[in-house]
Each structure stands twice: as C-alpha cells, then as structure tokens.
Amino acid sequence: MKRVEWWVLIVCAGFLLRVGAAAPFELNVEQVTSGDKHHFFGYIGQCQTIPWNASGRYILGMEIDRIDQMPEPDDAAEIFLIDTQNENKIIYIEKTHAWNPQQGTMFYWNPNAPETQFFFNDRDVESGKVFTVLYDIEKKKRVREYRFEDTPIGNGGVAADGSAWLGMNYGRLARLRLVTGYPGALDWSAADPAPENDGMFIVDVKTGKKRLLVSYRQLEELVKKEKPDLKHTGLFINHTLWNRDCDRIYFIVRAGWNGKDSIPEGEKRLNVPCSIHADGTGLTTQKFVGGHPEWAEGPLLIGREGKNQIVYDVDQKKVVEQWGTRKVFPNPEGDISLSPDGDWFANGYKKGDKNFYTVYRRSDGAHAFSEGVYKGNSSGNIRIDPAPRWNRTNDAVLIPGLANNGTRQMFLMRVIPEHPAVAKTEPWSSRMVQSLIRSNPSAAGIDFREKVRWHYATGLVLSAMLKEWEQTKDASVL
C-alpha cells in the first residue's frame, strides 16, 4: 500500500463499521427572506413548479401583512423578486387580489420565456372576476391578461411545454372549499351542483382561446357509475396536475369538504381521483394514491399506498414500483416534488410543530434527512404545509417556515454533495478519513465519547489522519 500503512486502513475501516459510512450528500437549510412581514411562494401543485427564473438569479415570492386568517376580499399581496446575486434583495414588482395562504397566486415561469415572464392570478375587486396575468420583468409590465367575462377563470396549472394552462372557477372553489379558492371571487355557477358549463378548462397560451375539457355534469355521471346513489351539494375539482409530457391531466373530484353542512345526511365526503387526456379523451377514475401526488415519466404518478412511497401507472391502473422503505419515507402522504432532471425526489412531512424532509436519489437509492423547520401550530386554512419546490439545477429546494420572530419566511434547502475527497475515484484511505470527519466533527467525540477525555482510540485515529495529511496535504483533514 503506497499512500498509508495498512494499519491506518484497518483502523479507519473499523470505525466505519461502527458509525456507518457518511451519506453521499447532506441537506443544509438556510433562511432566505426576513423582516416583520410574511414572505412565501405558494403551491407545489403544478408539474415542475420552479420558483427560479431560467438563469436562477430571481426567485418569485409574495409579501403579506398577516398569516393568522384567510385574506379579506380587499387584501392585496405584494409580488416580488429575490435577487440572489444581490444579497437576496427584494424587488417589488406587482400586486394581486387573487391569492390564499396555501396556493399563493399560482406562480409559474412561462416555459416559452422563463428568464423574464411568469404567470399569476388576479381578481377585479369590484366585479370579483378572476383572471390570469402574464408579466414580463424586463418590460416591467403585464404583457397579457386572460379575461373571460361570462365565465371568469384563473390558472390552475400551466403545462410544462408552455402551450396551455388549466382554468378553474376560483369562486366555486372558495365556496366549496375555502382553502383552495379566493375570497371575494365571483362564483358564476353557484346555482348548479353539477353544471354543464363549468368544470376544468384548457386555455391556449398563444391564442387565448379556451375550451371546456370536462364539465362537472360529466364528472357526476362518471362517479355515479361507481356510486349510483351519490348525493352532494356541489362538485368541485382540486389538484389539477399536468404530466411532464403534457398529454394527461390528473385531478380529484370532491364534494362535502366545507364542513358538516356541506354533506347530505348519511353521506361522506367525496374524494375521487380521475385522469383525462389533454384532447378530452380517456376520462376515467383512478386509484387513490394520496392527496398530493406528483408525476414522474409518461403515465407514472408518484404517491403512496398504505405507508409506502410508490409509483402508480395511470394507464394500467396499478402500482408498478416502490421507492425506499418506510424508514426512508416516514410519511409518504407528505408534500412531494420531483426535480427537473427526474433523479431527485423530495418528500416533506409534518411532525409536531416542524416540517421535515427526505431527499431521495432515484439513480442509486441514496437519501438524506433534513433538520426540522419550524412551522408553528397553525392548522386548517392557514397551516404551513412542507411544499418543497426544486430549482432548475437540481441542487436546492425552496421551502416555507417560521423565523425566530414568528413571521412566515422562505428557506432554502441545499443538497450538499459528498466531499471531493470522498468521490469514488479517490483512494479508500481518503474516503475513510473524510467519513470519519463527518461522523465526528470534533475529535473529542471519537469512539462515541460524550466527555472530553484523551483515549487510546483518539490517539490512534488522529495519528492515522495525520499520516493521510502527510501524503495528501489536504487541509480539510487538519
């Protein structure tokens, strides 16, 4: 052995067997925004929701005055950019009256111009009509507004190729499940529990034309095939989600989610997953795989079955794969997000007054756990869900949390790769030494010692590390 004596290798190997090799990556959480006001991004529920623009310089966000209640109809939220190249300076650019604490305002950078343009929802305060805005940060103005006077709708999900967005009646959502709608929004189909002229729309980004993809009447008929005695006070749709190929949409048909008064006597809340092709064909019910699923490739949907994190094929209607174990994913029902390159998977879940995250690498099954991020004890409409959202370079996730002063702020969870000296191309001596450093940041902790005390094992390991440094001159060893 050329670089270090054989006994050094044996010593390090012995400690590795006891403490376990270091994870191939780590997670580091840092606070991005601060101040007396509240700052957040919003929803995970659009395929490849990325808060960063194309270059990664700007992160979208919203600023509000309070988080202890749903917004009043007159409450506006400030829209801003975080300049990551200028000490995270906040640049205020717009306002919106169409937002809520869970979804924000459905931000989405325009796939056709991701460096400068993004979509968000707004609402006319006087009429209550919701519409979608396309804003250009370079021109510093709204370059387009998608308004439909008789049937006002807002963005419920932009296709990843930028061809279209899904349109929803946010007034109906606010009436039937407040947390997913906008207070003060006009509900133009309130008179009908299952209207023929309302449902999920598709709006062409270029032409601005819309078409009704599926109506609530169609959905009622579909559900009654499996539940012929269905009774409800009003259907609505949640979690409209394009797949990555932009040819399928997954969504959940619901009723009775606005308290006991919204459920007919003897009935239960309706919660039926469905999918449909973007051309309007293939409407069908699906197996329930969790309340916040995420698309992988093609027809594959990431969700949960029981206590397992699974992959479900919407075409075959069956589970085709399981990721990790129950130890890796303590709560597979949590908020989930797949990175743009499809290799990194983030699962966020609640435990007590904190949100925790597992990041899992699909290519080799490697994973790491985050520290807890304080979320407080709020619940219901004003709760702070984990909502992880990846950046474009697949090495950082935007997450929410509460700062020390009690304000809601934006945090960044970075994926820190293994130390360069631990790369698989490096000699085992270097890899073992770096693993020991990670397992024991302080030499006093070597051999699992809680009290500072010189010991034979301490001297032996440090001697081995010194010999490694003499060979490599790697400053991180000292």
At 142-154, the pLDDT tens digits run 999 999 999 999 9
**Rounded average pLDDT over 194-200:** 98
Is the pLDDT at 20 greater than 50, yes or no? Answer: no
Copy the structure tokens of residue 286: 């699906």
Q: Can you tell me which residue has the tokens 């190729």?
A: 161
* Separation of first and last alpha carbons in the chain: 22
Contact 239, 292 (CB under 8 A): yes
- Cα–Cα dist 439/454, whole Å: 18
Q: What DSSP line would sit under 374-441, residue for residue?
A: E--S--GGG------EE-TTSSEEEEEEE-TTS-EEEEEEEEEEPPGGGSTTS-HHHHHHHHHHHH-S
Residues 198 and 215: beta-carbon distance below 8 Å: yes
Total-model pTM: 0.84
Quick one: pLDDT at residue 437? 65
Q: 204 phi and psi, to 5 degrees? A: -75, 125
* Angle subtended by helix axes 456-472 and 428-439, to nearest 10: 130
β-strand partners of 59:
52, 82
Per-residue pLDDT, 447: 58
Which of 191-195, 317-321, 337-341, 439-443 is the least confident region? Answer: 439-443
Does residue 12 surpass a pLDDT of 90? no
- Give 3-state DSSP helix, strand, coil % of the chain, rounded to 5: 15, 35, 50
Residue 190 banded pLDDT, cuts 50, 70, 90? very high
Which pLDDT score is estimated for 445? 59
Nearest to residue 100, comparing CAs of 134, 143, 69?
Answer: 69
Q: What is the pLDDT of residues 441-464, one digit of tens each?
A: 566 656 555 556 667 677 777 887
Whether pLDDT at 420 is above 60: no
21 — pLDDT class (breaks 50, 70, 90):
very low
What's the mean per-residue pLDDT of the chain? 89
Asked whether residue 78 carries a pLDDT value surpassing 70, the answer given is: yes
Per-residue model confidence (pLDDT) at position 19: 42
Q: Please report which confidence band the pLDDT of residue 32 belongs to, taking 50, 70 and 90 as the band edges.
A: very high
6-19 and 456-472 helices cross at what angle (nearest 10)?
120
Q: What is the mean pLDDT of residues 360-371?
A: 95
226-270 pLDDT, tens per residue? 999 999 999 999 999 999 999 999 999 999 998 776 777 777 899
pLDDT tens, residue by residue, 273-294: 999 999 999 999 999 999 889 9
| pLDDT band for position 469 (cuts 50, 70, 90) | confident
- Per-residue pLDDT reduced to its tens digit, 95-144: 999 999 989 999 999 999 999 999 999 999 999 999 999 999 999 999 99
